[in-house]
Amino acid sequence: MANQSFAIDGPGSLLAVLASQSGMARGSSSSSSSDSSSNSGGISATDVSAYFKLVFLGLIICVSLVGNLLVSLLVLRDRTLHKAPYFFLLDLCLADAVRSAACFPFVLVSVHNSSAWTYSALSCKVVAFMAVLFCFHAAFMLFCVAVTRYLAIAHHRFYAKRMTIWTCAAIICMVWTLAIAMAFPPVFDVGTYKFIRDEDQCIFEHRYLKTNDTLGFMLMLAVVVLATHGFYAKLLLFEYRHRKMKPVQLVPAISQNWTFHGPGATGQAAANWIAGFGRGPMPPTLLGIRQNLHNQHRRLLGMEEVRSERRLGRMFYTITLLFLVLWTPYIVACFWRVFVKSCTIPHRYLSITVWMSFAQAGVNPIFCLLLNEDLRKVLRAHLPTYWRTKQHLPQDEAYCIM
């Protein structure tokens, strides 16, 4: 409070000065009490932001666990879904469910504790390792799915012959091995796993390119994502070039004394031989027919199979596109830190990008059920009997039950 001087001419003026000073003291005390009451009664912007983060991340955890476990259960229980694309989808869903159950609760605790890590440094490294592991696993698995989708359309004979359950198991093991190889070096301080306060999580610390090895990690992730979309572009180009298929050229049969044989032979050769038109040993016509009938489904790709493969391709490309859309802002922020020395990223932008990367674990099962008719059929088949019967009852009887 600034010093003030008063001219005192007598007792009356002295009383006036004392009254004015006491009034000023009462005014200042009342204003300070009102300010303290407003500060204690109001809600700050930080509290509101933390509340929305907790609610949003809790919703992501619930949707991710329920959706991914539901899709995984449908794939495991129905034998018609025991095929290569659904094995890869099962691996993706289980990985997202484990990520939601193992990594996200620590983010909830850190947000609740005002963006602070309350556990040990070793636990922070373990959580960061799992977060990076699941990120690279999703990228590598989506790349392998893109390759198999291209083979299923462009080289169907090779795909149908080689894509067995053991091949799928080998691909899944290879993907996890590559993901571990990418996520494991920072555990030994090749790079840094630490708690990032602005992101509310333990993750790889992205710094300037001359400081640590973050550039190699980010370049690998960017190359894998771009290569995945390159295979889908190649598949789209293949379908565009083969939108008008040429008619099948039938191979003519070979005739020796009216005994037709060869790839184009029919049962008429045996009838001609029995009728006496042919001489010599019996032609191997029936054996050729059996072979042709046995390998007929391997030779050509039917229209129903083409539609099924295209539906699977659209579903997996939607998952890949969602991965690109939800992770690209965070990848841009990481490259910003790598190439710009002593940069300052806006806190709001960084928070939005981190929460978008979290949302990627919950949106996959939703779009799988929306875009895949086979999964919806299996889901309706495994619904409780009460709901199925109520769905098929007439409207009046349904009202009576309710």
CATH code for position 59: 1.20.1070.10
Site of tokens 């391997």? 298
Closest CA to 364 of 56, 20, 88: 88
Residue 390, domain member (yes or no): no
- For residue 188, the model assigns a pLDDT of 65
- pLDDT band (50, 70, 90) for residue 267: low
Closest CA to 382 of 77, 69, 91: 77
- pLDDT band (50, 70, 90) for residue 310: confident
Report the alpha-carbon distance of residue 295 to residue 130 in Å, rounded: 46
Q: Which whole number is the average pLDDT over 117-139?
A: 91
Residue 285, domain member (yes or no): no
H or E stretch at 256: strand 254-256
Cα dihedral sign, 306-308-310-316: negative
- For 243-249, the CB contacts below 8 A with 24+ separation are 248/300
Q: Which whole number is the average pLDDT over 1-17?
A: 44
Residue 248, domain member (yes or no): no
Mean pLDDT, the chain, whole residue set:
76
For 326, the domain range is 46-243+293-381
Residue 394 has pLDDT above 70, yes or no: no
- For residue 44, the model assigns a pLDDT of 76
SS3 259: strand
Query: CA distances (Å), 209 to each of 115, 187, 192, 332, in order?
Result: 26, 19, 13, 14
What global pTM score does this model have? 0.72
pLDDT > 90 in the chain, percent: 33
- For residue 94, the model assigns a pLDDT of 95
Residue 402 has pLDDT above 50, yes or no: no
Query: CA distances (Å), 286 to each of 107, 171, 257, 362, in order?
Result: 69, 41, 17, 56
- For residue 272, the model assigns a pLDDT of 62
Least confident of 64-68, 326-330, 392-396: 392-396
Q: Which whole number is the average pLDDT over 149-175?
A: 91
Q: Look at the chain and count its residues.
A: 402
- For residue 316, the model assigns a pLDDT of 93
Residue 288, domain member (yes or no): no
Residue 141, domain member (yes or no): yes
Q: Which whole number is the average pLDDT over 122-144?
A: 93
Report the alpha-carbon distance of residue 225 to residue 142 in Å, rounded: 8
| Number of domains comprising the chain | 1
Residue 327, domain member (yes or no): yes
Residue 392 has pLDDT above 60, yes or no: no
- For residue 29, the model assigns a pLDDT of 45
Dump pLDDT digits (tens) for 279-306.
555 555 444 444 444 444 444 456 677 7
Beta bridge partners of 260: 255
Residue 253, domain member (yes or no): no
Residue 8, domain member (yes or no): no
Closest CA to 88 of 163, 16, 34: 163
